Structure 1
Amino acid sequence: MRINLARVAMGGLVAGVVLTALNAIKGGAIPAFNAEWAQAMGRLGIEMRGASSGPGTLAFFTATSLVYGLAGVWLYAAIRPRFEDGPRTRILAGAILWLVGYLLPMAGYAGMGLFSARLVALSGGLSLVEMIMAVAAGSWLYRETATRSLASGHG
């Protein structure tokens, strides 16, 4: 079976939109989380202005979410033949993407003293849930392309 890139793109778009929405909800629903991030960024000399950061910031984070979505659905498609279709494989793909794309970089920032271990743990836990939900939503749309058999004369 070959990876159906059209379905990866479609599912990745959905996953990216879900991830963007979950990030927006997290940003508005957890004031203490936002305050802790603002404090950490303030220590670095960066002022956080929330939604008023401007369209460039919103576009950057939306694009990042779309890349995560595409990567997550592609990863799901790649591991699906080995782990089978289903929720366990969707969770695994989201968790792997989170580990490599989020936790390891954030742990490095904590190790350099840029962010506290508490902030990385809090942010990491929330981001794990977001990543799994987004990849699950996008990968739900994924279907593989059937390859034609050489024996049938259509190869």
Structure 2
Amino acid sequence: MKRLDVVRLILGGLVSAIIIYLIETVTNAVVLGRDWQDWSAIARTAFVMPSGTVSMIHWGLQTLIAGIAGTFIYAGIRTWVGANLRAAWISGVIVWAIGWLGMSMDKMAMGIEPHKMIHYNLLAALIACLLGQVVASFIYKDRAE
């Protein structure tokens, strides 16, 4: 029986988190930058908005949690699915569904964010989670007992 390699799990999760963070940052700052500015101007009248620095820290923590959780899921399912890209894709989809799809359903139900921004972020996050987990799958290896 093999044992979980915690160091490789954290390293894979960290690399995955960096990939997710970079893709999300490009999506939100470059692709949707103007949309975010317009929405923020309106939202500031209804919500207390955090500073840009605080938002970036929260997004960084979100991607760190997603990266580590995804790598942990990958480590758990690789014995059943195999240590292959299929396991990485499955873990990426699971993290995306829990971390982004579920949250987006809330945003759409409450109408607190424009659908264009939600849809672009869903697509970018799916690509980011899949790519992040593929890279993490090359880093993570079980430790022999």
Give me the TM-score of the superposition, normalised by structure 1: 0.79
Q: How does 1:29-44 map to 2 (within 5 A)?
A: 29-30=30-31, 33-44=32-43
Partner residue of 2:10? 9
Larger radius of gyration: 1
- Aligned equivalents of 2:65, 2:90: Cα separation in 1: 18
2:85 is aligned to 87
Q: Does 1:62 align with 2:60?
A: yes
Q: Which has the higher contact order (CA 8 A, sep 6+)?
A: 2
Matched-pair contact (CA < 8 Å) for 1:40–1:114 = no
Percent identity reads 20
Give secondary structure in 1 for the equivalent of 2:139.
Answer: coil
Q: Are residues 29 and 47 of structure 1, via their aligned partners in 2, closer, same or farther at CA, if it must alter by over 3 Å?
A: farther
1 CA distance for matches of 2:67 and 2:17? 4
Query: Scaled by the length of structure 2, what TM-score is found?
Result: 0.83
Structure 2: gaps of 5 or more residues: none
What CA RMSD, in Å, does the superposition of the two structures yield over aligned residues? Answer: 2.3
Contact 2:24–2:121, Cα closer than 8 Å, also in 1: no
| Counterpart Cα distance in 2 of 1:3 and 1:42 | 47
Structure 1 unaligned regions, length at least 5: 148-155
Q: Residue 144 of structure 2 aligns to a residue in which SS? A: coil
Instruction: Tell me the matched-pair count.
Output: 142
CA distance in 2, matches of 1:144, 1:124: 31
Identify if the C-alpha distance between structure 1 residues 20 and 81 changes in structure 2 by more than 3 Å, giving closer, same or farther: same
- Shift in Å, 1:38: 3.2
